[in-house]
Amino acid sequence: MFPYGKTSQARLDTCHVDIQTIFDEVKKFINASIFCGHRGKEDQNKAFADGLSQLKWPHSKHNKIPSLAVDAGPYFVELSNTDWKDELAFAVFAGHVMCIARQLYKEGKITHLLRWGGDWDMDGRSRDERFRDLPHFELYKP
């Protein structure tokens, strides 16, 4: 098990219970960081201005209370951080997260599934996306 640090846990605590359930399961298998849960007006508009989001306040799922989105990724002990340039590591991480979410949904432990920001149209491909937000996961109802 890989417990979250205080900052990651505080961010996760701002998220919908289904996201919390998924990422509580993720930490049993993968060392991860939670970068963002709920995002207020100032932070959302900064993310938009910096090109990290395509949506202004209050249109992002990060802006809901509780947050319907989370930004998360793999944590590498040897770096004491995430390797932001390692797109493959984010894709592998997302695959694990998505499988865990699907299993929890199948077991009736959550009521939503996840959509990953690397595959918005959920066709299994990421290179066909105009905007790739590799740490982003958001809830949707199937």
Per-residue confidence (pLDDT) for residue 131, from 0 to 100: 96
Between CA 62 and CA 15 the distance in angstroms is 8
For residue 67, the tally of other CB atoms under 10 A from its CB is 24
Q: Would you say 140 and 122 are in contact if contact means Cβ atoms under 8 Å apart? A: no
The pLDDT of residue 19 is: 99
CA dist 134 → 16, 124, 138, 139 (Å): 20, 14, 12, 15
Q: 133: closest CA among 99, 82, 75, 91?
A: 91
- Is the backbone peptide bond immediately before 58 cis, with ω within 30 degrees of 0? yes
What's the CA gap between 64 and 77, in Å, rounded?
Answer: 32
For residue 36, the surrounding DSSP H or E stretch is: strand 32-36
**pLDDT value of position 63:** 98
Would you state the pLDDT for residue 120? 97
Three-state secondary structure string covering 53-103? CCCCCCCCHHHCCCECEEEEEECECCCCECCCCCHHHHHHHHHHHHHHHHH
pLDDT for the residue numbered 15: 99
Looking at residue 101, its pLDDT comes to 98
Ranges of residues in the chain whose predicted pLDDT is under 50: none
pLDDT of 114 reads: 98
Residue 2: the pLDDT is 96
Query: pTM for the complete prediction?
Result: 0.97
Q: For residue 40, what is the DSSP state?
A: -
